[in-house]
Amino acid sequence: MQPEIYSKQVADIAACQVILLDERGVDALKTERIPSEVIAFLNEFSGSKEDFDFVKTGKQWIFVAKVKSHSEKNRMYGYQVRKKLEKAVEEIEITGAEGAAIEVAEGLALANYQFLKYRSDRQEKEFSLRKIAVLDGNEKEIEIVNNTIRAVYWSRDLVNEPHSYLTATQLSKEIEEKLAPVGVHVTVLEKHQIESLKLGGLIAVNLGSEEPPTFSVIEYKPDAAVNKQPVVLVGKGIVYDTGGLSLKPTAHSMDIMKSDMGGAACMVGTMMSVALNKLPVHVICIIPATDNRPGKNAYAPGDVITMYNGKTVEVKNTDAEGRMVLADALSYGDKYSPELVIDAATLTGAAVRAIGTRAACVMGNAAQEVIDNLVAAGNEVHERLVQLPFWDEYAEEMKSDIADLNNLGGPYAGMITAGKFLEHFTKNPYIHIDIAGPAFLEAEDGYRGKGGTGTGVRLLTRFLANYTDGK
């Protein structure tokens, strides 16, 4: 359960506490809010070389940390608190170092996430933490953090759901159920509409499946938007990926393929966060969704597919399916004349091999200032981006002998050639984010946890919060 962060003016000295010391040390604290027996512990800690420590006095936990304003380390202190805190603790207070306290609370709340839906012992395993009080916290900042964390939790839930539950149809239902109540308009196109529109890439990938595809168009349009034309977000919604007829080589490589819709989870989570935070930005989100199976009349290597925008694609590998569905969505987005298009996808193993799981790859033909702003937003929330070159020479590998394009390049720089493939399908300033590394983790990494991380939601929320027309 997501704990509520809230501002509090009067301390409860008997509560579990996180006490933050900045460069001013103990002297900066309002010591009347701290039990007298704790002051000696704080003074000793202040003079030590340690950055984080804790003590338990009776039923009360006291955590203490040395902080700096606007630091990722502060969020990680929140994670450390969660690791040490007893499961049964229901509320904790954070005091001191006002600029850092909300970041500590954010890390603690993100670290409190659990996916226990399918556990028979979930009542025994569930954390009891329900409230995080920030002494004299900025209520507006706290509201934004709570809203954004709510969206991250939902994004994580979607990625963690097995395909036995989260089919393309169920994904579209989840989107409607979660977003319609927060003021977002959702239109779901079903199979017959997809076929009527000739969304060729999505149709082709879906041919091997028993489950129908969906194509969700989601719009948030505030009354006084800062942008004259919308920002279009596109997320890859492959709810399960076997590789199709180009079957993945090992069982392990399919183990986590329920997470291949991490791009869709990122983008719909962003839409929730944007709406909850009432950001003054007109945003349209498009989610093409299907699984990729080798059954029925599955599309095959050598096939030529006519895409939504009329371009033809020679299929070299059916496991390069994400770009096929994204391409149709990008072309569909042209109808809105967007001033900026951003997609997010768990697209290539090449991205993981290049930079690992601690960052995502970003590239595109949008103005460098816009990409710089996106990178800066990622640095602020510590969802970091590594910009890769986007030179036209990389597109040479995507040329086909018998069609307009191949859907697969050569053995090198696959994350860039994939981006260059997608560039052919939008006429507007374009940014591609490959989140294959950080979207799903097989081992716990701080407050990002294990499993679905919700990566990209906090990044894009910050970017759109800072957004001005065209930038």
- CA-to-CA distance for 116 and 127, rounded, in angstroms? 11
C-alpha angle 301-304-308 in degrees, rounded to nearest 5: 125
Give catalytic residue positions. Answer: 248, 323
**Burial of 268 from C-beta contacts in 10 A (0-12 / 13-18 / 19+):** buried
Task: Name the residue among 161, 72, 52 with its Cα closest to residue 448.
Answer: 72
Q: What sign does the dihedral 9-11-15-18 (CA atoms) show? A: positive
CB 29 within 8 Å of CB 136: no
Helix segments in 294-441, DSSP class H: 322-333, 349-355, 368-381, 414-423
Alpha helices in 61-180 (DSSP H): 72-84, 98-111, 122-125, 139-160, 168-179
Cβ-contact 3, 130 below 8 angstroms: yes
Burial class (CB in 10 A: 0-12, 13-18, 19+), 224: exposed
DSSP for residue 329: H
Distance CA 377, CA 171 (A): 28
| Side chain identity at residue 35, one-letter code | P
From the number of C-beta atoms within 10 Å of its C-beta (0-12, 13-18, 19+), residue 126 rates as middle
DSSP state of 237: E
Classify each residue of 90-121 as buried b or exposed e, where b means 16 or more C-beta atoms within 10 Å of its C-beta.
ebbbbbbbbebbbbbbbbbbbbbbbbeeeeee
State the distance between the two ends of the chain, measured CA to CA, in whole angstroms.
36
Nearest to 261 by CA among 458, 452, 445: 452
Rg, the chain, Cα only: 23
Q: Cα(136)–Cα(160) distance, rounded to whole angstroms? A: 36
Please spell the DSSP secondary structure of 283-321, one letter per residue.
Answer: EEEEEEEEEE-S-TT---TT-EEE-TTS-EEE-S-TT--
| Alpha carbon distances (Å) from 127 to 3, 54, 86, 123 | 10, 19, 8, 9
Distance CA 33, CA 19 (A): 10
| 262-276 vs 457-465: helix crossing angle, rounded to 10 | 40
Residue given tokens 């003054």 in the structure block: 280
